[in-house]
Amino acid sequence: MFAAGGMSRQGRTDEKMAKANAADSPLKTDKQTKSDKPVKTGKPGKAPAPAKPSVFARLGSYFKDVRAEMKRVVWPSRAEVRSMWVVVIVALLFFIAYIALTDTIVVYLLGLVGKIGG
């Protein structure tokens, strides 16, 4: 796996590997001082985030946006509302009848099964 002469697969000598590992190590050596500590700075090229607006400013902005959206809504005419109302009532009556019929049939079938077992 390793070539002769102390070379690893990546082509580094064992001494260079030891130096690299020591530099990456979080433990202090004799040569390190307090001034060698890395200084944390923000991400380079990024400005600090602007201050967050107050709750009341955000709430006011929300209601302003809601009002603007409501102005863009295309409301149906009275005739369209009436025709859609009729469609909803007819569909509702159909599903009421369907569920009632299905319920009656299931209850009847369960009654037959109950007579067989008991």
Using CA atoms, how far residue 109 sits from 46, 100, 101, 105, in Å, is: 72, 14, 12, 6
Sign of the alpha-carbon dihedral angle for 100, 101, 107, 111: positive
Is residue 94 pLDDT above 90, yes or no? Answer: yes
**pTM, whole model, 2 decimals?**
0.40
Tens of pLDDT, residue by residue over 37-84, are 555 555 666 777 778 888 899 999 999 999 999 999 999 999 999 999
